Amino acid sequence: MNFRKKIGIDLGTANTLVYVMGRGIVLNEPTVVAYSLENKRILAVGEDAREMLGRTPGTIIAARPLREGVIADYTVTEAMITYFLRKALGKTSWGGIDLMISIPGGSTQVEKRAVVSACRNAGASEVYLMEEPLAAAIGAKVPISQASGNMIINLGGGTGEIAIISLGQLVVYKSVRGAGTKIDEAIVAHLRKKYNLIVGERTAEDVKMKIGNAFFEEGQTDRTYEVRGRDFQSGLPKIVEVLESDVAEAIQKPLKNIFDGIREVLSQTPPELASDIVDRGIVLSGGTALLHNIDKYFTNKIGVATFLAEEPLFCVIRGVGMAIENLDSFKEAVR
């Protein structure tokens, strides 16, 4: 007898996480697919494909099939979901699969249908959708069902999602396109402009993780990081010592873009809920929330206490996992 399996997926622009009921989070891999240009045959998915980014010959493409949280390549996304399901479930008999997947809060009906269709074609029997800010809030243990205002900023790779939640619903919401990826792009542009150094997105991401700092203060130790790339003028390989203060300066524009989105959401928030937020503070989740001092940056800019959720990268998948296991309790938040 085959029992229905309950699975949750956080399908992010940068990383995909899979939750299986009874086992917890079983998979955390980059949302990257490598495929042959000639016949679209999938060659690698996840970590193996990420290793190929920027290193493939002309006949192979290694790319992220999601752009800013939305499916950009339907066929490749479907193949990727199938791969992740197979890897998560192993060789056991699949039977029926109840699948819950996170989507950006402002997704259109067309985008939602594309996600549902990709999941069904990948083998899911029932597909449920949950908006990422709600999933992140549930995973961060925010009491979203109460009649009080809670603010969460879920910073992923493709989007920064800013939401005010009350009674289990989004009251005010805004999505800022390209959160983590825009920070990476800003680092690439800065290294090229200041050091004549050309680097790829993987190297920029490494720089961000090693010495990225959203709130660099005068007098603190200015760390350095050795970056390898190609000289813009000579075309030869080049090694540069990059300063932490330089990286902090480079990423101020994409951070301000996120802050502008937060200010817009707060300006539309009903006064009573705004009062709750001043009392409770603002919760940060998502992989980009791991950027050093980003909580200090927002606290300083907004004037309201901002703090990181526990294990911010796993907030959305934890929320999706709790919801798929307790559908009746979270039916208001499920689409």
Gap between the Cα atoms of 51 and 53, Å rounded: 6
As to burial, measured by CB atoms within 10 angstroms (0-12 exposed, 13-18 middle, 19+ buried), residue 30 is: buried
| Burial state string for 270-293 with b = 16 or more CB within 10 A and e = fewer than 16 | eeebbebbeebbbbbbbbbbbbbb
CA angle 104, 109, 111 (to 5 degrees): 55
Q: Which amino acid is present at 303?
A: G
Tokens at 35, concatenated: 């495929």
Has 206 been labeled as part of a binding site?
yes
Q: In sequence order, what are the beta bridge partners of 17?
A: 10, 28
How many whole angstroms separate alpha carbon 266 and alpha carbon 334?
25
Q: Which residue has the tokens 């689409």?
A: 335
158 is in an annotated binding site: yes
Please enumerate in sequence order all residues whose Cβ is within 8 A of that of 61, keeping only pairs 6 or more positions apart, or say none. 34, 35, 37
Residue 207 assigned ligand-binding role = yes
Q: Is 15 annotated as a binding residue?
A: yes
Euclidean distance between CA atoms 70 and 217, whole angstroms: 36
The answer to whether 14 is a known ligand-binding residue is yes
Contact present, 13 and 157 (Cβ < 8 Å): yes
For 146-205, the DSSP string reads SSS-EEEEEE-SSEEEEEEEETTEEEEEEEEE-HHHHHHHHHHHHHHHHH-EE--HHHHH
Which tokens hold the place of 210? 């090693």
Nearest to 179 by CA among 286, 36, 315, 77: 286
Is 248 labeled as ligand-binding?
no
- 59 marked among binding-site residues: no
208 annotated ligand binder: yes
Binding site, annotated residues for ATP: 13-15, 157-159, 205-208
Binding site, annotated residues: 13-15, 157-159, 205-208
